Amino acid sequence: MGVDVPEEPLIRIEDLRREFVMGDQVVRAVDGITASVDAGEFLAVMGPSGSGKSTLLYLLGGLDRATSGEIWVDGREIVSLDENGLADYRRREIGFIFQSFFLIPTMTAAQNVAFPMVFAQVPVAEREPRALALLERVGLGDRVRHRPTELSGGQQQRVAIARALALDPKIILADEPTGNLDTKTGAEIMQLLAQVNLEEGRTIVAVTHDASVTDYATRSLHLLDGHLSDSVELDRHRYYQKAEL
């Protein structure tokens, strides 16, 4: 009703650039990207190896610094933040998932999931119950005392997803989340991410060259040589197909 004010996207990227200077060569990994992501999208970032996907994701997550440009997330510009501001941004807004899981090998699944809570002033008594509930959520309720080496790749990625959810982030950033998994396990992980997106309303940006991601995502962005080459709306048909079984 009333005046139709367009809603501000959750993420807005303005002419973003990241250059790496290698001797007398300049690599333009991200070379002038302008894009936005609405709250609730599951965005697949696709493109050949070396096209700038990971660099873009790390800039979005505040793990790397842009050479120029702006990234607005939830009303805050993050390229201009100092180290403390960036750390605070990562903790509050972002959950990360990586290709090689990055679990701490000496810790159990539950301890890995609780780990981010240690740095976020979550009261000690709340950490374990919250970690157990998250492991239950990702289907690992019966593996909470296992260490990473005692878990399959798919199970380790589930632990990593639970850990990414530990501080209740609005945004999940995933870099090749199925890159170390076989096709079937990869599809199960995509299904879980789609569920986290749809059921919990979290915004997901997943970088991948796994074409099957387009069966689960709501949109794909395509990169080529650090540029945006295409944006395609998707209908996540595999997710619904499976959900109806």
Query: Which residues are near ligand ADP by CB under 6 A?
Result: 20, 22, 27, 29, 47, 49-55
* Of the candidates 218, 222, 229, the residue with the CA atom closest to the CA atom of residue 38: 218
Residue (61 or 117) nearer to Mg ion, CB: 61
State the binding partner of 22 from ligand ADP, Mg ion, none, CB within 5 to 8 A by kind: ligand ADP
Please report how the helices 183-200 and 153-164 are oriented relative to each other, as an axis angle in degrees rounded to 10.
Answer: 20
Distance CA 150, CA 57 (A): 30
Q: With binding defined as CB under 5 A, does residue 214 bind Mg ion?
A: no
* Of the candidates 175, 44, 48, the residue with the CA atom closest to the CA atom of residue 102: 175
The three-state secondary structure class of 72 is strand
Neighbouring C-beta atoms of residue 239, cutoff 10 Å: 21
Residue (54 or 155) nearer to Mg ion, CB: 54
* Of the candidates 223, 161, 145, the residue with the CA atom closest to the CA atom of residue 195: 161
Q: With binding defined as CB under 5 A, does residue 54 bind Mg ion?
A: yes
On whether the CB atoms of residues 43 and 208 are closer than 8 A, the answer is no
Residue nearest Mg ion by beta-carbon distance: 54
Residue (50 or 153) nearer to ligand ADP, CB: 50
Least distance to Mg ion from the beta carbon of 139, Å? 27
Q: With binding defined as CB under 5 A, does residue 203 bind Mg ion?
A: no
Q: With binding defined as CB under 5 A, does residue 112 bind Mg ion?
A: no
State the binding partner of 149 from Mg ion, ligand ADP, none, CB within 5 to 8 A by kind: none
Q: Using the rule CB under 5 A, give the single segment among 24-32, 54-62, 148-156, 210-218 that binds Mg ion.
A: 54-62
Distance CA 245, CA 238 (A): 11
Residue (92 or 209) nearer to Mg ion, CB: 209
Distance CA 176, CA 239 (A): 19
Residue (27 or 81) nearer to ligand ADP, CB: 27
Neighbouring C-beta atoms of residue 184, cutoff 10 Å: 8
Residue (49 or 149) nearer to ligand ADP, CB: 49
Least distance to ligand ADP from the beta carbon of 95, Å? 19
CA atoms 70, 71, 75, 77: torsion sign:
negative
State the binding partner of 43 from ligand ADP, Mg ion, none, CB within 5 to 8 A by kind: none
Least distance to Mg ion from the beta carbon of 201, Å? 27
